[in-house]
Chains A and B, each alone.
Chain A
Amino acid sequence: MSKAAYTDHLGRPLVAVTGMGVVSSLGQGVADNWSALTSGKSGIHPITRFPSDGLSTRICGMVDFIDIPAPNAVERSFAFARETTVEALAQAGITGEFGGPLFLAAPPIEPEWNARFDLGDRVKPEQMTGNAYEQFLAVLRDKADPAFHEAVLFGSISERLADLFGTRGLPVTLSTACASGATAIQLGVEAIRQGRTERALSVATDGSVSAEALIRFSLLSALSTNNDPPEKASRPFTKDRDGFVIAEGSATLVLESLEAAVTRGAKVLGIISGCGEKADDFHRTRSSPSGAPAIATINAALDDAGLSIDQIGYVNAHGTSTPENDKMEYLALSTVFGDRMADIPVSSNKSMIGHTLTAAGAIEAVFSLLTISNGTLPPTINYDNPDPAIPLDVVPNVKRDATVTHVLSNSFGFGGQNACLVMSADPA
């Protein structure tokens, strides 16, 4: 291969994906997930982690099949990320120290309620003055609790991943809300383009669903209350969609400069050809009515990839199943793609796995790359009552064979976070 074949339209190093791992409510591993996803299977189920009777939402896509030593968000998020990273590195054929930077999308961490109750139980009668935290402080002055400390630090997940996999430098732990997974990939791509490294590990994990997390989203009216049956709750782009289904999962992508990947004989699974972002200044939870920031984000990703709208063959939608997102996403897509929109299939993985929040952008990037390599478009399930205001080809209910070279994947989040990725087939 000539040197030019290793660089993009701007002369930057092309960034290849050489390993992938995924965990979602559909199961563990790329193969099982892809099989379930293309079969139109839902991973949404009743909540079992905590009692949910009395709550307006009683369903989820939580992952409870991976063993954790203690029930908290750090342990769970770490365990998911460890599993997907082991899988991704095995596929990439990388053993020993990884030797490149780690970019980790992880959920914001707070003490679990079981930890607060536990601290509360340790308060001696004479310490029961003041607010709960003053009482906890009295307990901790008596006896330190390093395990509790470590369980509430934002940096403790990346710390363990860095030690386990031998990543280089200070890992970056990030949160751009529901766009976090895409941002983790973007940071990896940037580092390789900067020439700082030949490889990067992009990981996005979320094992943070608790009663409080669920109730917080409920209070913002963001969650579906279509509890029965659970697998029918997430119904993106339909007229009766009523919110997202909260879920968990993780994905890891091994990123390498294409040149380095080819040189070491690694199998190239696809190319991250473009990344775009643009923040929204309209509102904390709602997006600009004009869709301008989402439009700008999609355009930025296409520009970064050096592709025209004619070259995108499929869109992996953010498609949360909230009234607001799906309407805005259609507005943005139809504005960017114009008349071509009718010819571009757009499907939402969230119809099956729910909204994996911090992990979503990376899990959906894995599925986008699998779409290219397998020539199969995963469906949007539960598409029984199409929203006439959103005339998209959503690949309704059943997968479809299609040859796709370039995929656009959207991620939009609270706080005006927008990030889009373009993924492409191996140019070789």
Chain B
Amino acid sequence: MTHTRHQVVVTGIGLVTSLGVGHEAHRDQLMSGTAPSRVVDSTSFAPYTIHPLPEIDWSAQIPRRGDQRQMENWQRLGVYAAGLALDDAGLKGDLEACASMDMIVSAGGGERDINVDTLIVEESRKRNDREQLLNEKLTTELRPTLFLAQLSNLLAGNISIVHKVTGSSRTLMGEEGAGISAVETGFARIAAGQSTHCLVGGAFVSERVDMLMVMEAIQGLGKDADAPFWSADGSANGMNLGTAGAFLVLESLEHAQARGAHVYARLDAVLGDRGSREADRLEQRLTRLADDTGASGGGVDTVVFTGATGYPELSARERTFLQSRFPNAPRRTLGALFGHSLEAHFPTGVALACLALDDDAPVSPFAAGEDAVTSAAANTAIVTAIGHVRGEGIARLTRMP
């Protein structure tokens, strides 16, 4: 365990999901007492259901058209959410604070040019010299700027350009694990005094046929638009991809207090691990992660935000583990309401936990009929992510007095 010398708190939240733009839109729907209606699109990518990008005015956070044009939606969403987080923390436009602010982004890759790829695949059916074809078509058809819109580290690069966050810039990759590592790394640096304030988060756009292809390669996607997230037998009904942009401003408590910042919650611990999932190895690892993050027991004022992917057996195992580890704590199933957002999934869970810990009302169930109704506002939040093929993480957060 890290020898913690500094408390780490969350002072800014930037959240965009299918439910809406900004944390107020989420608070309004999540603290109302009833499970919000999920917003899904089951026709555009049928037979798949996705949780789409909400209506969004990019100019609100990316004022220059030229900047918007240099990005595809994945990068735009991340830059937008990062701007919301900075605004919320009261640091947007504070050039000095942003110039010394660290940044850790969890990123995948950007959108393919579907038309160009289709053109090449169609043409390849008529020709034997496919490599030559590739050279010809890529040279003439690729937009030069698309490369930068696809490049993983250019989400962070665009945040530097648009929001002037330049203390440092690190992009972590590796699906769900990237989101866990981003929060874990930011936390560890602030706790150790290596950083005072850090922008952490990621973005994922579900409306991408190229990403659907990746996930369907192991037939992991749900195909029944009407199926609930959880089955009656405790397993899940397949993954639905969800759009999410989730950024957090992490600060040392001293740094936040010195500038009079509003503190959403304290991040007490966050850890990730990976390894074999044979037999009960996954459960053993989760137990150790829960022990090492101090995530145990918990009553009705503990809320568990589970990042279960929707993979039937894997999600069932997670659910069983959480049930035995936190028998009295209500669970909130992210995937049921927001879909699964890979690199952005864990940051989204942490952001939602912060909203719950900052509110006097209890957080509504995300999966109606499955997530327990509670009358108590949350004082402790546990956030989990279990990657669809690898990587597990747990964070523990506490309400600030």
Which chain A residues have a beta carbon within 8 Å of chain B's beta carbons? 50-52, 54-55, 106, 108-110, 113, 116-117, 120, 131-137, 140-141, 144-146, 148-150, 152-155, 158-159, 162-163, 169-177, 183, 187, 190-191, 193-196, 211-212, 215-220, 277-285, 293, 413-417
* Interface pair B164/A281, CB less than 8 Å apart: yes
Knowing A144-B219, A170-B180, A174-B172, say if A51 contacts B135 (CB, 8 Å). yes
Q: Which residues of B contact A132 (CB under 8 A)?
A: 114, 117-118, 120-122
List residues of chain A with CB within 8 A of the CB of B130. 113, 117
Residues of B within 8 A of A (CB): 2-3, 70, 103, 107-109, 112, 114-115, 117-118, 120-122, 124-125, 130-132, 134-136, 138-139, 142, 144, 147-148, 150-154, 156-158, 160-161, 164-175, 177-178, 180-181, 184-185, 188-189, 191-192, 194, 209-210, 212-214, 216-219, 223, 271-275, 387, 389-393
Q: For residue B71, which residue of chain A has the nearest CB?
A: A284
Q: 13 pairs across A/B with beta carbons < 8 Å?
A: A131-B115, A134-B209, A137-B209, A140-B219, A149-B217, A153-B389, A155-B173, A155-B177, A173-B181, A175-B152, A194-B191, A279-B157, A279-B166
Q: Is the CB of A155 within 8 A of B138?
A: no
| Beta-carbon contact of B103 and A279 below 8 Å | yes
Establish whether residues B151 and A219, one from each chain, have CB atoms under 8 Å apart when the complex forms: no
Establish whether residues B125 and A211, one from each chain, have CB atoms under 8 Å apart when the complex forms: no
Asked if A146 and B217 sit within 8 Å, CB to CB, the answer is yes
- Shortest distance from the beta carbon of B399 to any chain A beta carbon, whole Å: 27
Contacts of B151 in A (CB 8 A): 108, 177, 414-415
Asked if A215 and B135 sit within 8 Å, CB to CB, the answer is yes
Known A-B contacts A193-B194, A211-B134; the reply to A176 vs B391 at CB < 8 A is no
Given A137-B209, A416-B161, residue A50 in contact with residue B214 (CB < 8 A) = no
Question: A140 contacts B125, CB within 8 Å?
Answer: no
Smallest CB separation, A417 vs chain B (Å): 6
User: Which A residues lie within 8 Å of B160 (CB)?
Assistant: 279-281, 415-416
Q: A170-B273, A414-B151, A416-B166 are in contact. Are A141 and B219 (CB under 8 A)?
A: yes
Could you tell me if A113 and B169 are in contact, using CB atoms closer than 8 angstroms? no
Q: How far is A120 from B387 in the complex, measured between Cα atoms in Å?
A: 29
| Chain B: minimal CB distance from A304 (Å) | 10
Contact present for A131 and B114 (CB under 8 Å): yes
A282 touching B161, Cβ below 8 Å? yes
B137 to chain A: closest residue by CB: A215
Chain B residues contacting A280 (CB-CB under 8 Å) are 160, 166
- CB–CB A172/B114 < 8 A: no
Question: How far is B272's CA from A284's CA once the two chains are assembled, in angstroms?
Answer: 32
Beta-carbon nearest neighbor of B115 in chain A: A131
Most chain B beta-carbon contacts within 10 A, residue among A131, A152, A211, A220:
A131
CA distance A104 to B269 in the complex (A): 23
**B156 and A137 within 8 A (CB):** no
A285 to B147, CA, bound (A): 11
| Extra inter-chain contacts (5) besides given A50-B134, A146-B218, A293-B166, CB under 8 Å | A131-B117, A154-B173, A170-B271, A172-B185, A278-B166
A195 to B191, CA, bound (A): 11
Given A215-B139, A415-B151, verify A133-B210 contact (CB < 8 Å): yes
The minimal Cβ–Cβ distance linking B45 to chain A, given in whole angstroms, is 9
For B174, the chain A residues whose CB sits under 8 A away are: 153-155, 158, 171-173
| A152–B112 CA distance with the chains assembled, in angstroms | 14
Asked if B168 and A279 make an inter-chain contact with CB atoms under 8 angstroms apart, the answer reads yes
